[in-house]
Structure 1
């Protein structure tokens, strides 16, 4: 383990992150909301912490190894959440405790959207901007951005990219150079954000709300600048814009790259994961709308409006709200909640287990049924026309098994804190899938649960964001013996 390189990279990352305090400082100055001192202090503290990590080893130029990448990724997200919590504690409003501030910061960085804060409409504008900015930076992952500049600092970035990028297909690259891959991802990410903000602005949002909500939409985060979330605007046009960009952001960004480079959309129609993803979405919509209408929860037009929005918001793990889906009748709350387990596509900003994994699990299960009928047949599992490597299938099943076991352990720990079964079941699922809103006591916010439960859920959010393996590998004795 090369601790000098780890310390150097971590220091560089923290010094870079400190500069992200500048936009909230400018917002605070513009609105005169009294939070300038808090953000300035946070900037200096974060930069100083990074400088102390970097200065003693600034002249170390060794390459990163795979193990170093795992350590840096986990440490970076932990330190990032810690330093990101400074403004929430230092600002007079909201003036959160350390536990609450860390939870809110990590929820933003992991794009979970589980908030403990209420009274958003009365908070300083700079704090509201900062929450949205956290999600935007965390959406694609600051590490993916950082690998675009690490080569200029004499540090290889492929190990970080493999540890950070979501989904099972971590070794695929859009371009021959990892730096160009990271840049391509961020160009697409920024273009989608700008287009989303312009759409919101044209639909009637203020510029501040439009930019803030575009951050959370493209990041699949779900934070809002209002307690009522997107329901505050009561606009079907705004809701449909959100639906469009939530869906776009839940699709593998590699497909967006190919569409941009080759000026074609035909590959979307051929992609098996995209087809499965939309099958899940439309299946949920076709179940939800009739159920809302037939139970007289809403009239037909509102059933269509709220049904489409909530299904897309929850299934993509965004977590925006225009209606309280947790109070919907019959099976609907659980249906929507279960759809979040599928989540977005691999290589997207969406959470969940990823559609490609669920698709492969279904297809392998179907193969096992066929093997019972034809025990001597050679039956490959295919995605499109290509057979999937058995090693990938093993990794998918390993992930699924570990995911279920992690869910069970986290839920038992949460129940041990005294939380009821429905709340514990949904809170763990919402945090592990990076969804945000749950059922029961966490349907609207997490402010009423205890500190012990918040720390358990913070760990769960990190597990979900790093897709379990990246974090749990560090506690494996074999990792440290290698």
Structure 2
């Protein structure tokens, strides 16, 4: 294991992270409502720490193997999220404990969107910006940006890309060179963010809110600059814009690149995962609308449709935004079927290669196709059935990997939930808290419906681990616990 090279790379990444402390410092100067000194101190601390990691091993440059790639990715999220907590520890407002600071930082960078903060509207603009910025950076993964700009420093890109990129098939590249792949991903990501921000601004948000919410929308994160989330703006147009960009961000970014490259929308409709993703969204919206209308939850049919559309897409794509204005019925108080249904839908999440969380649509689709194949085998025991995506038959190895992933996902979920129950949390809160963090969703039900401020510190640390498992899609982190990984 190339530990010296790994420490050198982590030092570079921490130094790179330090630069992200400067925009909030500038925002504090612009709005003059506090926080600037804390972010400047955090910048200096992270920069110095990064250089101290890097300098002793600056000459250690060699190609990374797959094992080093997995370890760097795990350390990347753990170390950088930990350093991202530094401003929260130094700030006077909000005044957070160590557990709270780490929870907020990990939730931001992993795009989970679960928060321990209350009275968000009264926080300094620098803090609001920083939270949204964390989600934006974590949405695509700073590791992809690092792959794009750091090959010149001797960091092997493909090993990091394979370890970081979500989805069952990790060896496909959009372009021949991995650095070009990362650059194209980020170009699409930035373009969508700008388009989202401009749309929010044109719909009535002020420029600050528009930029901040574009960060968390394209990242499918769910953080907001207001306690009421999107409900603060009380605007159907803003809600529809949010839904559109959540759907766009929930699609495989490689598919977006294929559409842009071919200058044709046909690539979308030839993609099995995309069609399954849209079908799931349509079914959820329809079920929510029918139930809300049947129970007369809101005053008009349009209100029922708007709330059904927004929350179905927001929860199922794992964004976790809320669109309920003050005085209206909140999502957690809907007829019991709907909150539970949408929490379960977050286990599916977005498409592979998107910024969404969950197990990903492609995996669930393959599990379904495998179930159909087994039923067909019962009817025709001697027949040979293959699983196809489009016209391409998939090898059994891929299906076996999907089942392994599903088993590991379920095991991690059960263990985390049992730990929360042991810590004194009630069943509903424990179940939805783990679902919210493992699926990188954000809001839960019961004790964690509004925020996670009232749970104990032990539960927060358990959920931080769940966030990491969810963001790294289980295996990337779980492989570190196997003895074979550490054998030379």
TM-score, scaled relative to structure 2: 0.98
Asked if 1:345 corresponds to 2:346, the answer is no
Q: 2: distance between equivalents of 1:53 and 1:391? A: 40
Equivalent residue, structure 1, for 2:444:
438
CA contact 1:169–1:346 (8 Å) conserved in 2? no
Equivalent residue, structure 1, for 2:286:
286
Matches within 5 A, 1:209-228: 209-228=209-228
Equivalent residue, structure 1, for 2:92:
92
Asked if 1:268 corresponds to 2:243, the answer is no
Shift of 1:475: 1.1
Equivalent residue, structure 1, for 2:101:
101
Q: 2: distance between equivalents of 1:165 and 1:50? A: 25
- Residue aligned with 1:286, SS: helix
Q: 2: distance between equivalents of 1:322 and 1:168? A: 33
CA contact 2:34–2:126 (8 Å) conserved in 1? no
Q: 1: distance between equivalents of 2:487 and 2:61? A: 24
Matches within 5 A, 1:213-362: 213-298=213-298, 299-323=300-324, 324-362=330-368
Asked if 1:411 corresponds to 2:417, the answer is yes
CA contact 1:250–1:345 (8 Å) conserved in 2? yes
Matches within 5 A, 1:128-277: 128-277=128-277
Shift of 1:156: 1.3
Shift of 1:379: 0.4
Shift of 1:76: 1.3
Q: 1: distance between equivalents of 2:267 and 2:470? A: 29
Q: What are the ranges of 5 or more consecutive residues in structure 2 without an aligned counterpart?
A: 325-329
How many pairs are equivalent?
482
Once the two structures are superposed, what CA deviation does each residue of 1:200-229 show, in whole Å capped at 9, x if it has no partner? 000000000000000000000000000000
Q: 2: distance between equivalents of 1:297 and 1:36? A: 44
- Residue aligned with 2:43, SS: helix
Q: 2: distance between equivalents of 1:129 and 1:203? A: 20
Equivalent residue, structure 2, for 1:79:
79
Q: 2: distance between equivalents of 1:136 and 1:244? A: 17
Matches within 5 A, 1:348-427: 348-427=354-433
Q: 2: distance between equivalents of 1:272 and 1:291? A: 29
CA contact 2:217–2:245 (8 Å) conserved in 1? yes
Equivalent residue, structure 2, for 1:39:
39
Computed over aligned residues only, the root mean square deviation of the Cα atoms, in angstroms, reads 0.7
Which range is displaced more, 194-203 or 400-409? 400-409
Shift of 1:311: 0.2
Q: 2: distance between equivalents of 1:330 and 1:153? A: 54
Shift of 1:34: 2.1
Once the two structures are superposed, what CA deviation does each residue of 1:222-272 show, in whole Å capped at 9, x if it has no partner? 000000000000000000000000000000001110111111111101110
- Residue aligned with 1:380, SS: coil
Which range is displaced more, 108-117 or 31-40? 31-40
CA contact 2:85–2:105 (8 Å) conserved in 1? yes
Once the two structures are superposed, what CA deviation does each residue of 1:168-213 show, in whole Å capped at 9, x if it has no partner? 1211100000000000000000000000000000000000000000
Which range is displaced more, 63-72 or 240-249? 63-72
Q: What are the ranges of 5 or more consecutive residues in structure 1 without an aligned counterpart?
A: none
Q: 2: distance between equivalents of 1:148 and 1:80? A: 18
Q: 2: distance between equivalents of 1:389 and 1:136? A: 35
TM-score, scaled relative to structure 1: 0.99
Over 3 Å off, 4+ runs: none
Shift of 1:330: 3.6
Equivalent residue, structure 2, for 1:463:
469
